[in-house]
Amino acid sequence: QVQLVQSGSELKKPGASVKVSCKASGYTFTNYALNWVRQAPGQGLEWMGWINTNTGNPTYAQGFTGRFVFSLDTSVSTAYLQISSLKAEDTAVYYCARGGPLGTANPGYYYMDVWGKGTTVTVSS
Amino acid sequence: DIVMTQSPDSLAVSLGERATINCKSSQSVLYSSNNKNYLAWYQQKPGQPPKLLIYWASTRESGVPDRFSGSGSGTDFTLTISSLQAEDVAVYYCQQYYTTPFTFGPGTKVDIK
For the residues of B56-85, what is the DSSP string, one character each? TTTEEPTT--TTEEEEEETTEEEEEESS--
Single-letter code of the amino acid located at A46: E
* Residue B38, CA distances (Å) to A50, A78, A88, A101, B113 in order: 17, 27, 34, 15, 32
pLDDT attached to residue A103: 80
**In angstroms, rounded to a whole number, what is the distance separating the alpha carbons of residues B41 and B55?**
7
Task: Compare CB distances from A111 to B44, B52, B107 and report the shortest one's residue.
Answer: B52
Q: Is the dihedral of CA A109, A110, A116, A122 positive or negative?
A: positive
**In angstroms, rounded to a whole number, what is the distance separating the alpha carbons of residues A76 and B69?**
37
**In angstroms, rounded to a whole number, what is the distance separating the alpha carbons of residues B69 and B50?**
17
DSSP B48: S
- Set of chain A residues whose Cβ sits within 8 Å of the Cβ of B40: 111-112
pLDDT attached to residue A66: 94
Residue-wise pLDDT for B67-94, tens only, equals 999 999 999 999 999 999 999 999 999 9
Are the beta carbons of B103 and A38 closer than 8 angstroms?
no
pLDDT attached to residue A83: 98
CA distance B106 to chain A (A): 6
CA distance A64 to chain B (A): 11
Are the beta carbons of B6 and B103 closer than 8 angstroms?
no
Grade residue A104 by pLDDT with cuts at 50, 70 and 90.
confident
What's the average model confidence in pLDDT over A8-31?
Answer: 97
- Which phi and psi angles does A75 have, rounded to 5°? -65, -25
**In angstroms, rounded to a whole number, what is the distance separating the alpha carbons of residues B63 and A125?**
44
**In angstroms, rounded to a whole number, what is the distance separating the alpha carbons of residues A105 and A122?**
38
Q: Residue A65 pLDDT > 90, yes or no?
A: yes
Q: Average model confidence (pLDDT) for chain B?
A: 97
H/E segment holding residue B11: strand B10-13
B53 contact partners, CB below 8 Å, separation of at least 6: B40, B41, B42, B43, B60, B61, B64, B68, B70, B79, B92
Q: Residue A107 pLDDT > 90, yes or no?
A: no
State what percent of residues in chain B have pLDDT above 70.
Answer: 100
Residue-wise pLDDT for B3-56, tens only, equals 999 999 999 999 999 999 999 999 999 999 999 999 999 999 999 999 999 999
State what percent of residues in chain A have pLDDT above 90.
Answer: 94
- Set of chain B residues whose Cβ sits within 8 Å of the Cβ of A111: 40, 52, 55-56, 95, 97
**In angstroms, rounded to a whole number, what is the distance separating the alpha carbons of residues B86 and A13?**
40
Chain B residue with the nearest C-alpha to that of A64 = B101
Q: Average model confidence (pLDDT) for chain A?
A: 96
Q: Residue A108 pLDDT > 90, yes or no?
A: no
